[in-house]
Amino acid sequence: MLLMIDNYDSFTYNLVQHLGEIGEDIRVFRNDRVTIKDIEELNPERIVISPGPCTPKEAGVSVDVIKYFAGKITILGVCLGHQAIGAAFGGDIIRAPRLMHGKTSMIYHDGKTIYEGLPNPFEATRYHSLLLKNETLHS
C-alpha cells in the first residue's frame, strides 16, 4: 500500500489518479489528519508527500514523517514534498534564479528506481520558483 500525505493541494488527486491507473493501492490522508503512529499501524510500503501551497514549516506532519520513516520506507516528495525532504535533512529552500513555470527540460537519469523503463532522456514540464540550496544538503 502507498500512503499519500495530502498537503491541501489540487494536484494531489492528479497524482492519486495516475498512481491508481498503474495499479497502486493508495490511502490518502490530509497532513493534519494523520500521525506517525497511524502510519506505523498502516504499515505502507511507500509514502508520497504531495505538493501544497505553503512551506515545509506549514506542511503539517510531513517533515516529521520524513525524519521518522527515512531509511525505513521509500519516500517520494513532489514539489512541497520535495522541499520537505530537503528541509527534514537541513536543506534551505531558496528562490530559484530562473523561474520554471510551464517550461520544459530534458531529464537525464540512470534508469534505476523511479526512472526504470523511462526513455533517457525524456522531456518534462517544470513548474517551480523555489529550489533546495545544494550547499546546505548533506551528502
User: What's the rounded mean pLDDT across residues 86-109?
Assistant: 96
- pLDDT tier at 139, thresholds 50, 70, 90: low
How many CB atoms sit inside 10 A of residue 65's CB? 24
Dihedral sign computed on CA atoms, order 106, 111, 115, 119? positive
Mean pLDDT for 94-121 is 96
Name the domain count of the chain: 2
Where does the pLDDT of residue 137 fall: very low under 50, low under 70, confident under 90, or very high at 90 and above? confident
Q: Are residues 85 and 101 in the same domain?
A: no
pLDDT for residue 109: 98
pLDDT at 8 over 80: yes
**Which of the listed residues 51, 71, 89 is the one where a domain comes to its end?**
89
Structural domain including 41 reads 1-89
My answer on whether 105 and 68 are in the same domain is no
Q: Which three cell numbers stand for residue 133?
A: 540550496
Residues 85 and 103 in one domain: no
Summarised one tens digit per residue, pLDDT across range 55-72 is: 999 999 999 999 999 999
- Distance of alpha carbon 118 from alpha carbon 3, whole angstroms: 24
Residue 130 and residue 101 in one domain = yes
